[in-house]
Structure 1
Amino acid sequence: MSSNNEILTLSGLILGVGLVLIITVVMLFNGSAQTTTSKTQNTATNSAPVEDINTKVASLAEPQKAIVLQGNELFQGNCAQCHAVDKKVVGPALKGVTARWENESEIINFIKYPEKVITGGKNDYASKLYEEYGQMMPNHDFFSDQQIQSILTYVKFESGEEIAMK
């Protein structure tokens, strides 16, 4: 008889310890989930909201709006991997880019054929970029001049520069 009581007592003890472990695990899991949620909420509240491009361009006239939106789309799909408007990434920040070149046709030529411009040795600024970053931007000869102009217009718009329509 005493062995039956010992078995029951041992079973009760094991069951009790098991329940305590399960409750502890559930509480720990629940606590970490709340902490993660809290961190996520804090991050979202502490950072400034990202303004949608459509909201940003709402005040522009229709022709400007269309060009900036096209430039944004082309920039995001082809340039944003290496460039940002206001900070260096893999390549230079693009804010003020038009002021750093002699004229727009030089920028367009460089964007389409950077290696030709750099190795041709006729553009000091292009050579300086290559020396500073140590790599060659790939050709973007698939862009039309108009598409590159829309990217440049988008960069001006994002930089806070006035954009003029031609």
Structure 2
Amino acid sequence: MKLKVLVVALVVAMVSSCGSDGKKSDKKAAPKEEKKEVVEVDPMKDKGIGPITSVTLTEIDQAMADKGKAVFSAKCSACHKMSKRFVGPALAGITERRTPEWIMNMILNPEEMVEKNPIAKKLLAEYLSPMANQSLTEEEARLILEYFRTVKEK
């Protein structure tokens, strides 16, 4: 019986020590977390975030595309396949779904893109793996873009 009384007394002491000292608290209630509005972005108008602000495309340059395919094979194919989902999304037809600037900025600046760009954030949420920065040059990114222009979705 003494043990029960002692346990009850300890519990009462602990609970009462967590309360206020009888004075009104000056603390304001924690602000409610604002719900962030989801902004839908037209993927064919989004240029992404990074050094590329404008790309002018002309007819496909097959020599550039061939060099781009070699760079892609060396730097990107461990995570991307053209016609199927892998670690990252399938890339066939990417130029029909994203702007050239967005594609190049994703290649050159993937960390900031997945942090700030709504489309890249969505991709990160879907694939759960951020794109690795391969430290490519703008020229290499442009070659890869040219290669992407030659690979259409099936």
- Normalising by structure 2, we get a TM-score of 0.55
Q: Which has the higher contact order (CA 8 A, sep 6+)?
A: 2
Q: Does 1:115 align with 2:111?
A: yes
Q: Does 1:72 align with 2:69?
A: yes
Aligned-pair RMSD on alpha carbons? 2.1
Instruction: Tell me the SS of whatever aligns to 2:114.
Output: helix
The Cα of 1:100 is off from its aligned counterpart by: 2.4
The structure with the larger Rg is: 1
Q: Provide the C-alpha distance between the structure 2 equivalents of 1:109 and 1:143, rounded to a whole number of angstroms.
A: 11
Which amino acid in the other structure matches residue 86 of structure 1? S
Q: Does 1:93 align with 2:90?
A: yes
The Cα of 1:99 is off from its aligned counterpart by: 2.7
Q: Which runs of 5+ in 2 are unaligned?
A: 1-59
Which amino acid in the other structure matches residue 90 of structure 1? V
Name segments (4+ residues, structure 1) moved above 3 Å: none
Q: Provide the C-alpha distance between the structure 2 equivalents of 1:83 and 1:128, rounded to a whole number of angstroms.
A: 17
The Cα of 1:157 is off from its aligned counterpart by: 1.3
- Normalising by structure 1, we get a TM-score of 0.51
Q: Residue 160 and residue 132 in structure 1: after superposition, are their counterparts in 2 closer, same or farther (change >3 A)?
A: closer
Q: Which runs of 5+ in 1 are unaligned?
A: 1-62, 162-166
Query: Are 1:85 and 1:159, in contact at CA under 8 Å, matched by a contact in 2?
Result: no
> Residues 73-101 of structure 1, C-alpha deviation per residue, up to 9 Å, x if partnerless?
10110111111111111110001212322
Q: Provide the C-alpha distance between the structure 2 equivalents of 1:113 and 1:106, rounded to a whole number of angstroms.
A: 10
